[in-house]
Amino acid sequence: MALDMGAAPETLLSVRGLSVAAGDRPILTDISFDLAPRSILSVIGATGSGKTVLARALASWLSPPLRVTGGRILFRGRDLVADPAHARSLAGREIAYVGGNPAGALDPTMTVGAQLVEKLRAVRPDMSADDARKKAIRLLEAVHIPSAQRRFHEYPFQYSGGMMQRAMIVDALISDPALLIADNITQPLDVTVAAQILKLMRELNAQFSTAILFICSSLPVACDASDEVMVLHEGRVVERQTPAALVARPGHAYTRELIAELPTLWQGGENGASRATDRERRAIMSVRGLAKAYEVRARGQAGISRVQAVRNVDFDVFPGDNFGVVGESGCGKSSLMRLLTGLERPDAGSVFFEGENVGAASPKRLRELRRRFQLVLQDPYGCLPPQSPIGAILEEPLKIHRIGNAAERRDRARAVMAEVGLDDSLYRSLPTGLSAGQRQRLNVARAMILEPRLLIMDETLSALDQTEQGKLLDLFDKLQAQHGFTYIFISHDLTMVRRVCSRIAVMYLGETVEVAPNERLFFDPGHPYSRALLSAAPTLEERRYRPEDCLLEGEPPSPIDLPPGCAFASRCPHAFDRCRTENPALRARGGHALAACFLNPEPDIGLHETVTETPHV
Amino acid sequence: MFILRFLARRLGQGAIIIFLVSALIFTLLRVVPGDPVRLMVGGMAPDTLVEEIAAEMGLRDPIYVQFGRYMGKVLQGDLGESFVRPASGAAVGGASFDDATRGERAKVLDLIAETAPMTLQLAVLAMVFALMVGVPIGVWGGLYPGRLPDRLALYTSSLFVSLPNFWLGIVLALLLSVKLNLLPAIGYRGFSYTILPALVLAVEIAPFIIRTLTVSVAGVMGQTFIDIARVRGLSRNQIVFRHALKNSAVPLLNLLGVQFSMLLGGVLVIEFIFDYPGLGLLTINAVMQRDFPLIQGIAIVTAAVFVLINIAVDLLATAIDPRLDY
Amino acid sequence: MDRRSFLRYGALAGTALGAARINPDFFFSSAFAQESRPLVFLSAENITGNWDPTAHTTLSQTNIEGFVMGYLTRAPMRPEEPDKVVYELATEITELDAHRLQIKLREGVTFHDGKPFTAEDVKATFEYGAKLDRPKQVYPGGPETFSVETPDDHTVIVDTSKGGYGASLFIFLASYLPILSAKDVAEGPKGPLSQRLNGTGPFRFVEQRGNDTVMEAYDGYFRGAPKVTGVTFSFVGDATTRMLSLMNGQADVIERLEPEQVETLEARDDIKISRLVSVENKYLWFRCSKPPFDDWRVRKAACHAIDRSMIMEIMGSAGEASSNFVSPIKFGYIDLENYPEYNPEECQRLLAEAGYPNGEGLPELEYITSTGFYPKTKEYGELIAALLQEQGFPVTLNVMEVAAWNERLYDRPGGGPGHMVDCGWATGSPEPDLVLRTHFHSTAKRICGIVDPEIDAALDAERDAPSLEARKESLQTNLMPMLADKAPALSLFTSVLIHGMRTNVEGLFIYPDGQSDASQTTLG
Amino acid sequence: MTSTDLPLAMAVPETGRRVSTRIWQTAFASVEFKIGLAVFVVLLAAALLYPELSGIDPSKMNIRAKLTPPIFMGEGWSWAHPLGTDQLGRDMLARALVGLRYSLLIGVSTTVLMLLAGAMIGLFSGYFGGRTDTVLMRLTDAQLSIPMIILAITILGVSRPTIPSIILVLGLAGWPVYARVMRSTVMSERRKEYVRGAMVLGATDLRIMFTLLLPLVLPPMAFVAVLDIARMMIFESVLGFLGLGVQPPTPTFGNVIADGRKYLMNAWWIATMPGVFLVLTLTSINLMGAALERARNSIYGGA
């Protein structure tokens, strides 16, 4: 990199040859780039490429063992590396930082408003408490937090993830910083909420003339959010282009590989539609009018309120099917999983597994049924008993159901390990040494060992990165071919569902708003919410549906006091009066597709009997 | 309003606890060998007379009947009469069985009411001393885990917790009061007599305060909102004193709640050593003289005070940390 | 105001209120005494709560009576002149003949409640005190064994011809019986007698406040008002607490010092020590009314198992060797040859003879003693328990707080608690019967519960002896040797009463039974 | 990805060994633990060996040699009694060490009783929640609200105290603390996915509690219990001091120090010497306990 001494006056930030190491292991080597005022630069790279270390270095927030081993960071001409005192004085004033963990960002024992005022008066001592309060409330409204006046006096635990992230953005911008470092701020959020935050970032950049360094791990999100994209690979800057140019002519091999790996929603590539589903045989699992509510003592208010987690769920799953259940957080997916597996009893409706009602089975009968359907959980680190060796984990199900003797059990365990690709030497060791991918393989092996006929995957792949997800999907196909498993995939990742599932149900606020085959859902969605989901999904392809015309501003209503009529009415651009009074039920749209929306034409024959293809026995 | 509902529920639970406590102690005293009537009548009473008095007092009825009668009286605030102490409250013994003065005995409630304020004064002073010593060391240790202050906190708390209060009491009384004549030690003739016993009691409480604070302060300092606060532009003092201390106050409060029953244990022994006329000395003499109604009354009163203190601690905790909801 | 701030302000208000409760008197009040204030006397034993002097035999209460009540005569009983008598309420006592005694009373003396002191008070005291139902059995016989005439207001004649014993017995008794007011006696045991003390002594009884008996100087005292404003007689159960209180000036006089405490206090110049051989012997009482100690051989065997020289070693300066059932300064004392000595072989022989060869078959024995009152009771209690266990007696020591020990001390129908009890007995007059008759006569048997006609006969014979000489003869040759053989109790040693006083306490006279005369006392 | 990909988040080295062995190793590495262990081993050896080796019977009286001062007191001492003799001429060193034996015996057995009783109650209350939880927790509150000492002296005061009765009373009074710790830990573990995973496999509640949760939760609690050994030893000696502990002639710290109190002025070593032994033992145990507790907290994140 050429060493031009005097940085151009209008560049806000210029980094020259920055290197950072942890102990003696280099993390960043020779990073150099400039950032003009009011511009948005996104930094993209795989896990471990050093993105967050770069963010922290710029915010002069490196704590041991990380230390800067070389180079300069010029902020408005003054080198932050050489003058740490000046750098610290900038923190919170000129350079603001918003992290990826909004929930833990504020002191739980103080109101959000008080902490905003405290921060503002810390960086602007001359400002009076009253002015600070007014400015904070004005900013809360600017980031579209509903009833900001009331929210000002509420505590951090009363904020949802999305709202807290907005509050943290206010906290960053309240001191009118010149540079805002956003470190992976959308990662923990739902797709629709993340999309709104990105829209907000653009507005604020225009309104506050603040330059933004946007760190994130998914290329599509980066391209949507920024003017220029900088690609980081193993601690080095490998490329920097505008989003359109990057997608069209990726310069560096790594970027090309990154783009190729990205699954697509609409363009070609192998997807679940091609899977044949055996319709003639009886449905392996049928869910009819399932409902479940939990009693929760609302914070502060007197009395107990009921959260209707699952309101009205209907679908059938056929043998050999890869059935997908998609929805954002809070839509009732995990409550549904607990009902399907009989961990909890439904308040209404029933779950038929091979003709038998799981919800009403006696505990003893339920335990026997367990052998024929199994669950694979989400958190690779949390779902394995932490202290028993791998062999014992695999043999436990056999011991519970008293299958075979010790020798047979050991052989069975070894066989299953081989099948899922776990090396035999791991039999004795503890799971703590395994990678996330290996742990999920162990989970699948544990579920498989009882030779179930149905496997329910609760967000099994969401904790893994792209490449690992691909390998496991191949494994699932292989196992399905050999053992004839039927899968139910519960997930919030549309791209994975597109690639794997033959039929998909979309859930919103406890209801199945749409059930459709793969191709039909992605190319002709029957429900506005499905369309909104597709519009917000991060993808590099040319979008079929633009978020502006699919989704109104605002958060989903709370499941405690649900509005009458269709739950999506408050956020649906096409909603009309009937939507706000009557809750549409699922109705056929032809070609085995169903949707619960009045926009679909009224079918001529009676409602109920067409809901499912085959009358259940 | 929320607080009324909370208080109602907690006082209800408290009532159940006090009921359980008095039931436990009541049966214990009746089941364990040693006939209370013989003790109460004392002297050379013939057995026939003992039986007659026992029947008259209803001590031969089934336990639950006696307990029902006892609780009935307790509800009207009458904790019964002491077996041994006359109305004047002196420790008496040796009068003959048909002695007229055995008639009017001191009311348990009066005896407790007389001595409780003294113990309260001792306990409060001890808690003040303990906090004065414990809080600085604990917080300082928590801010620098693993380094010198933390080590100091560890060593002081380990040593203090290893000093048995009765032994320390004797040694301090020997050194400070008798040899150096700095502090009066024995009996009670003014506030200054509370200092030495309070010091010994404080040594017993301080280690738990130190340990709780080091753990909770270190825990809070490790949390993300403290780490991020630095980048948000808050000064170190603001972070430590406004945020860290407030968050670590709740574990300390919970400790102080549980600490009360330990405190009373310590007060008991220390009042015995220093002949300090509080509830502790009254309890010990009550047990030594097998004065069952008095023991029972004290157990009920301490249980009631423990329940009230716990409710106060919980209320205070919700005031500090809104997430706690009881 | 939402609930958060409501809670917070409530808590702050609470602590503010709490702070005010601790009174601001924070300075170190000087522990040293001003001048005109009451004498503080710390007693080692609790009171019974019933003030009628004839209703108890508790030493501490007798000491209080010493301050408040009047006595006909006082017996200083110093070893150099044991039978010297000081006249107090009486002015002259003459033996008209063997069975008639005339007592001349002092004039111009009034009780604390204002009633003048006359002969009727003495008559009422004698007749009330002699009743057989009175726990304190100190008279030679019941009221029917003597008659009292009052020729005028200040003369009393006692005629003992009905009882068959000499009237001279009343000479010794005269210094032991507190004179009660006839008005009080008339209302009987449940009347004012039990509520408060009313006497003619130098101090008036005010009230009982907790463990403190508060007395005030009585200006009308016939020998002139006392110099100190009053006496506060407090029960403090723990010996170390008493000593620490004396050392830092909170107390003026303390009783029952232990040898080690004497060593410490003698080293200080602001404290002085008073030592005197007392009328009190310390006994190991056997419960003779229930097995195994209803068999005299088992009792004798136990006596032979105990090496009293080791006990003397423990007692050090607080104990005086004696081998009789009464104190050397009592009338009729003699070192008995047949007094049981430490003799293991004899002990085993007697045990075998009684059917318990080296102790097999003996039930679990409980030896009850107190702590904090008599010096060293716990120490020699452990020694005696160990010595008895050596000979096969299955003894467990039960050390109790003074009030609880007092509750279990006395005999009861069916036998008092435990099998052996440690207790001392002090009676402020040379009269031996105050110990022997009270404990060993079947009509009294205060602690050991012995019922033995032979002993009763010996006691009556000695009481009815025509002259003092004959009485001494009967005591020393008949009664005392018989007691040594039957051993209803074993007298371990004679106590040496040791008191500790501030040096500025002048003119306090201490009697050998523990009572003291503070009428001339000054706090210099 | 989130900040966990940061190299600086040095997770505790993921070794294969069981958690409890890791806790031992981390604790053992700290200097407090080494000091504590060394002192404790020396005292334990002395307590077990000295009375037998030296042939001195702690309860043999030698009245002539009463109140001999310890060797460091200038005149009047003798090698036969390094720490002097008490008011009945019994050897102080032997009595202190035998007293240590009884104290340790009672301290350890009480703590084990408390740990097991509290763990069982906490396990059931934490796992099932709902009514069982409220009932058991109310019982724990009631137990906690009776100050330990009033309960102990009430029971021991009226009946003749023996070693088993003392252990029972102290154990009875101490279990609620363990019940509460166990309940909160079990409640948080129960919500974790591996328990839900076991349920789905068809494991019964009892199997989950005893084969899955207990082995995971008990060891860390056992480490904290070391601190309670010291607390129970102090309580035993307090009872002894009040005359309600092990009865004479058995020497325990409590009754030896209680006797010594009377001789504070001129034979202060009777009361203070045994106290020094007690304090040394307790400090060593507390140091070890504190080191173990810190190790557990660092590995378990203060569960």
Chains that touch A (3 or more CB pairs under 8 A): B, D
Same domain, B90 and B140: no
**Residue where a domain stops, chosen among B79, B107, B135:** B107
B130 falls within a domain: yes
D66 interaction partners in chain C (CB closer than 8 Å):
313-314
Residue type, B220: V
pLDDT, position B44: 54
Residue B113 or B89, more confident: B113
Domain shared by B18 and B39, yes or no: yes
A399/chain B closest Cα distance in angstroms: 41
Give the pLDDT band (50/70/90) at residue A460. confident
Q: How many angstroms separate the CA of residue D251 from the nearest CA in chain C?
A: 12
Provide the token pair at C125.
Answer: 């005291």
What domain range includes position B151?
Answer: 111-320
Interface check C14 vs B, CB under 8 A: yes
Q: For chain A, give me the number of helices (H) and strands (E)?
A: 20, 22
Interface contacts A/B by beta carbons within 8 Å: 68
Whether the predicted pLDDT of B101 surpasses 90 = no
| Tens digit of each residue's pLDDT (9 = 90 or more) over B181-215 | 777 777 777 788 888 899 999 998 898 889 888 88
Contact between C260 and D243 using a beta-carbon 8 Å cutoff: no
CB interface of A with D, residues 40-59, below 8 Å: 47-48, 52-53
In a domain, B325, yes or no: no
* Closest chain D C-alpha to B23 CA, distance in angstroms: 11
Q: Are residues A502 and A596 in the same domain?
A: yes
* Same domain flag for B158 and B222: yes
Asked whether residue A367 falls in the same domain as residue A509, the answer is yes
Q: Is residue B187 part of a domain?
A: yes
User: Is residue B326 in a domain?
Assistant: no
pLDDT in tens, C430-483: 888 888 988 898 888 888 888 899 999 998 888 888 888 888 899 899 999 999
Interface test with C, best of B3, B92, B172, B178 (most C CBs within 10 A): B92
Most confident of A476-485, B98-107, C158-167, C179-188: C179-188
Measured between CB atoms, which of D139, D177, D234 is closest to B164?
D234
> Phi/psi at C158 (nearest 5 deg)?
-105, 125
Segment B5-55, tens digit of pLDDT? 878 888 888 888 888 888 887 877 776 655 666 656 555 556 677 777 777
Per the CB < 8 Å rule, is B17 touching D142?
yes
- Whether A526 is covered by a domain: the verdict is yes
Contact D249 C385 (CB under 8 A): yes
Q: Which residue of B has its CA nearest to C404?
A: B289
Structure confidence at residue A606 as a pLDDT band (50, 70, 90):
very low
Same domain, B116 and B256: yes
pLDDT of residue D10: 28
Residue A151 lies in a domain: no
Q: Is residue A38 part of a domain?
A: yes
Query: Confidence class of residue D71 from pLDDT cuts 50, 70 and 90?
Result: confident
Query: In this prediction, what percent of chain B has a pLDDT beyond 70?
Result: 84
Strands, E, within C162-307: which ranges?
178-179, 203-209, 212-217, 230-235, 253-254, 271-286
Number of domains chain B is built from: 2
Q: Which residues of chain B make contact with C27, given a CB cutoff of 8 A?
A: 192
Statement: residue D6 has pLDDT above 70: no
- Please provide the DSSP assignment of D74-112 as one string: SSS-BTTBTT-B-TT--BHHHHHHHHHHHHHHHHHHHHH
3-state secondary structure B270-297: HHHHHCCCCHHHHHHHHHHCCCHHHHHH
Cβ contact (<8 Å) for B224 and A104?
A: yes
Question: Quick one: which H or E segment has residue A515?
Answer: strand A511-517
C103 sits in which H/E element: strand C100-105
D218 part of contact set with chain A, CB < 8 Å: no
Contact A232, A43 (CB under 8 A): yes
One domain for residues B246 and B279:
yes
Same-domain status, A463 and A564? yes
Q: What is the pLDDT of residue C32?
A: 43
Would you state the pLDDT for residue A617? 36
Asked whether residue B219 is assigned to any structural domain, the reply reads yes
Residue A187 falls inside a structural domain: no
Q: Residue A18 domain-assigned?
A: yes
What is the mean pLDDT of the segment spanning A92-99? 86
pLDDT confidence of residue A610: 37
Q: Which of A403, A431, A449 is the last residue of a domain?
A: A449
- With an 8 Å Cβ cutoff, are D267 and C260 in contact? yes
Q: How does residue D225 score in pLDDT terms, banded at 50, 70 and 90?
A: confident
Mean predicted confidence (pLDDT) in A565-582 = 80
Are D238 and B264 inside 8 Å of each other by CB? no
Q: What CATH number is associated with residue A71? A: 3.40.50.300
For B321, name the nearest residue in chain C, comparing CA atoms only: C4
Same domain, B116 and B89: no
CB C239 within 8 A of CB C258: yes
Please indicate, yes or no, whether residues A479 and A349 belong to a single structural domain of this protein: yes
Any idea which of A450-459, D11-20, D30-39 has the lowest mean pLDDT? D11-20
Residue D55, by phi and psi: left (phi above 0), alpha (psi -120 to 50) or beta?
A: left
CB contact under 8 A, D278 and B159: no
> Are residue A509 and residue A550 in the same domain, yes or no?
yes
One domain for residues B120 and B101: no
Q: Measured between CB atoms, does B246 come within 8 Å of chain A? A: yes
Same domain, B56 and B115: no
**Residue C364 CA to its chain's centroid (Å):** 30
Average confidence score pLDDT of chain A: 80
Helices (H) and strands (E) in chain B, counts: 13, 2
Q: Which of C247, C378, C389, C402 is the mutation pick for testing D, counting most D CBs within 10 A?
A: C378
Tell me if B143 is assigned to some domain: yes
Chain B stretch 203-262, residues whose beta carbon is closer than 8 A to a beta carbon of chain D = 211, 215, 219, 258, 261-262
D139 touches chain A (CB under 8 A): no
Domain membership of residue A108 (yes or no) is no
- A611 — pLDDT class (breaks 50, 70, 90): very low
pLDDT of residue B28: 76
Question: Chain C residues within 8 A (CB-CB) of chain D?
Answer: 239-240, 243, 258, 260-261, 263-264, 310, 313-314, 378-379, 382-383, 385-386, 396-397, 399
- pLDDT at position C352 is 92
D210 at interface of A, judged by CB pairs closer than 8 A:
no
Contact B223 A104 (CB under 8 A): yes
pLDDT digits (tens, 9 = 90+) for A410-419: 888 888 888 8
Give residue C57's pLDDT: 82
Q: Both A436 and A470 in a single domain? A: no
Q: Are residues A365 and A346 in the same domain?
A: yes
Indicate whether A325 belongs to any domain: yes
Eight-state DSSP code of residue A387: T
Say if residue A490 is in the same domain as residue A604.
yes
Q: Best of D189, D199, D201 to disrupt the A interface by mutation (most A CBs within 10 Å)?
A: D201
Report pLDDT for B258: 74
Residue of B nearest to D35 (CA): B155
- A403 and A334 fall within a common domain: no
Measured in Å, how far apart are chain B's first and last C-alpha atoms? Answer: 14
Q: Are residues A580 and A474 in the same domain?
A: yes
DSSP state of B177: I
Write out chain C's pLDDT in tens, 524 residues: 344 555 555 545 544 444 443 333 334 334 444 457 899 999 988 887 788 888 888 888 899 999 999 999 888 888 787 778 888 889 998 988 888 899 999 998 999 988 999 999 999 999 988 888 787 878 888 888 889 999 999 999 999 888 888 888 888 888 888 999 999 999 888 788 888 899 999 999 998 887 889 999 998 888 888 888 999 999 887 787 788 788 878 889 999 988 888 888 888 898 999 998 888 999 999 999 888 898 999 999 999 999 999 999 889 888 999 999 998 888 888 899 999 999 999 999 999 999 999 889 999 999 999 887 888 898 899 999 999 999 999 998 888 877 778 878 888 777 778 899 999 998 888 888 888 988 898 888 888 888 899 999 998 888 888 888 888 899 899 999 999 999 999 999 999 999 999 998 998 989 888 899 888 888 87
Rounded mean pLDDT, A474-480: 86
**Phi/psi of residue A292, nearest 5 degrees:** -155, 135
- C378 vs D contacts (CB less than 8 Å): 259
Q: How confident is the model at residue B173 (pLDDT cuts 50, 70, 90)?
A: confident
Residue at a domain's end among A410, A434, A449: A449
Mean pLDDT of D107-115: 91
Of A119, A157, A297, the CB nearest to B232: A119
- Write out pLDDT tens, residues A220-231: 888 887 888 888
Neighbours of chain D (3+ CB pairs under 8 A): A, B, C
Which of C4, C48, C184, C214 to probe the B interface (max B CBs under 10 A)?
C48
D145: closest chain B residue by CA: B303
Instruction: For residue A538, give its domain range.
Output: 272-297+304-372+450-611
**What's the longest Cα–Cα distance across chain B?**
86
Same domain, B28 and B78: yes
Q: Which residues contact C222 (CB under 8 A, 6 or more apart)?
A: C106, C108, C109, C200
Q: Are A12 and A73 in contact (CB under 8 A)?
A: no
d(CA D227, CA D224): 6
Least confident of A333-347, B68-82, D42-56: B68-82
In chain A, which residues have their Cβ closer than 8 Å to the Cβ of B325? 297, 299-300
* B171 and B306 inside one domain: yes
Q: What is the mean pLDDT of residues B133-147?
A: 88
Q: Is A590 on the interface with D (CB under 8 A)?
A: no
Spatial distance between the Cα atoms of C468 and B171, rounded to a whole number of angstroms: 57
Q: List chain B residues with CB under 8 Å of D275.
A: 164, 167, 171
Which helix (H) or strand (E) segment holds residue B84: the answer is strand B81-86
Nearest to C250 among B2, B178, B189 (CB): B189
ipTM: 0.74
A379 vs D200: CB contact, 8 Å cut-off? no
Do the Cβ atoms of A488 and A454 come closer than 8 Å?
yes
Cβ pair A374:D200 closer than 8 A: yes
Q: Looking at the structure, do residues A436 and A528 belong to the same domain, yes or no? A: no
Statement to judge: residues A604 and A547 lie in one domain: yes
Q: In chain A, what percentage of residues exceed pLDDT 70?
A: 92
Residue B150 belongs to some domain of the structure: yes
- C190: nearest CA partner in chain B: B100
Option in D248, D259, D267 nearest C397 (CB)? D248
Residue that terminates a domain, selected from B107, B132, B161? B107
CA dist C281 → C60, C418, C475 (Å) = 16, 21, 17
Chain C residue numbers with beta carbons less than 8 Å from the beta carbon of D262 are 239-240, 258, 260-261
Contact B3 C6 (CB under 8 A): yes
Count of domains observed in chain A: 3
pLDDT, tens digit, 9 for 90 and up, residues A222-281: 888 788 888 888 888 888 888 888 888 888 888 888 777 776 777 765 666 666 555 666
- pLDDT, residue C14, reads 46
Q: Are residues B98 and B42 in the same domain?
A: yes
Whether residue D263 and residue C385 make contact (CB cut-off 8 A), yes or no, is no
Last residue of a domain, one of B81, B107, B133: B107
Interface contact flag, A97 B223, Cβ < 8 Å: no
What mean pLDDT comes out for the span B273-280? Answer: 85
How many residues does this entry show for chain C? 524
Query: What pLDDT score does C395 carry?
Result: 92
Q: What is the pLDDT of residue C453?
A: 92
Residue B57 shares a structural domain with residue B179: no
Other C-beta atoms lying within 10 Å of the C-beta of residue C163 = 22
CA dist., res. D157 & res. A590, Å (int): 86
B204 near B262, Cβ under 8 Å?
yes
pLDDT at A499 over 60: yes
pTM of the model: 0.77
Residue A365's pLDDT band (boundaries 50, 70, 90)? Answer: confident
Report yes or no on A203 lying in a domain. Answer: no
Task: Judge whether C411 is closer than 8 Å to chain B, CB to CB.
Answer: yes
**Binary contact (C248, B178; C-beta < 8 A):** yes
Query: Rounded distance, CA C385 to CA C397, Å?
Result: 6
User: What does the buried/exposed string (b/e) look like for C374-385 if buried means 16 or more CB atoms within 10 Å of the residue's CB?
Assistant: bbbbbbbbbbbb
How far is D63 from chain C, CA to nearest CA, in Å? 7
Mean pLDDT check: name the lowest of A102-111, C304-313, D19-28.
D19-28
Query: How close B242 gets to chain A, by Cα (Å)?
Result: 10
**B166: CATH:** 1.10.3720.10
